Structures are given as C-alpha cells and as structure tokens.
C-alpha cells in the first residue's frame, strides 16, 4: 500500500526504535496538523529517554514535546489502531508482529536515525531538522489537511 492510497484513518500509531526522536516527532506533527480528528500515539521497540536535540528542533517550529514520555509497544493500553507507521526497520518487524491478528494496516517510512551524525552541535541539530522536515512532508502527503493546521 502506498502512502497516497491510504484509506481514511481515525487512529495512527507511529513506531521507532526508542520512542525518543522519530516517532515522537511524527506524533507531535500529526497532532499539530490533525488535532482531535485523528487519534495519535507513538511507541518504541525499546525504552529510551527523551532526546534534547529532538526537543530543540521541534521547539524551533513552535511544537512543544517536553511532556512526551517515551514508551514501548508493551506499554500500550490500547492497540486498536487503523494504521501503524513504522519509522525504523526494528519497529517495522515489531509492528508486523503486533498486527498479525488485527485488522490494521502497517506502512514503513524508512527514516534516518539522526543520532548517527557526529560533529558540532549545529551539525547534529541540522540532521535532526532534516529528519523532522522529512517526517512532516510524509505526513502532509499521506494525511492531507483541509484548511491548514488544526491547533
């Protein structure tokens, strides 16, 4: 299933490896653009800690993610999602396992892990910005807004 042929969804789960960078970015961006029209959550395969670079680049675009608490698939209280969007290969495998017995679609947006970039603070922040902007483009393409952000 391609992103442009997604059926209408009412609930989306974003998943990555630690729920510390990519999936919280996606969750926050989806909430920014779709507000309460779509239920959104995010998880990781393993426990992680909130990443300060992620917080900084989301703050640059006016989205506060400081209250995000990373959680794992095992921490989910509700698993009745219409769609799971995996942002890392490890999360894709776990999402497929989770949805074997569910009427739920799974798509994979292979998203670069910005923690792999070394160097100056600015070089690292730039990698996070690129990931943020890539996720934002994918969300807007897959889940077009009617009339702009719903904040």
Contact status, residue 113 vs residue 135, Cβ threshold 8 Å:
no
User: Structure pTM?
Assistant: 0.91
Closest by alpha carbon to 94, among 5, 23, 34, 31? 23
Q: How far apart are CA 119 and CA 88, in angstroms?
A: 23
How high does pLDDT run on average in the chain? 91
At 150, the pLDDT band (50, 70, 90 cuts) reads very low
Residue 123 has pLDDT above 80, yes or no: yes
CATH code assigned to 7-142: 3.40.50.2300
Structural domain spans, the chain: 7-142
Does pLDDT of 43 surpass 50? yes
């Amino acid at each position: 299933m391609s992103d442009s042929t997604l059926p209408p969804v009412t609930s989306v789960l974003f998943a990555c490896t630690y729920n510390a960078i990519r999936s919280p970015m996606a969750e926050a961006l989806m909430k920014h653009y779709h507000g309460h029209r779509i239920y959104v959550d995010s998880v990781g395969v393993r426990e992680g800690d909130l990443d300060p670079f992620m917080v900084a680049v989301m703050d640059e675009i006016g989205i506060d993610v400081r209250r995000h608490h990373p959680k794992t698939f095992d921490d989910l209280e509700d698993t009745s999602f219409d769609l799971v969007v995996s942002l890392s290969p490890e999360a894709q495998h776990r999402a497929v396992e989770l949805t074997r017995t569910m009427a739920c679609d799974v798509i994979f947006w292979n998203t670069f892990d910005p923690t792999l970039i070394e160097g100056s603070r600015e070089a690292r922040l730039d990698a996070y910005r690129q990931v943020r902007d890539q996720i934002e483009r994918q969300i807007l393409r897959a889940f077009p807004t009617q009339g702009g952000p719903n904040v």
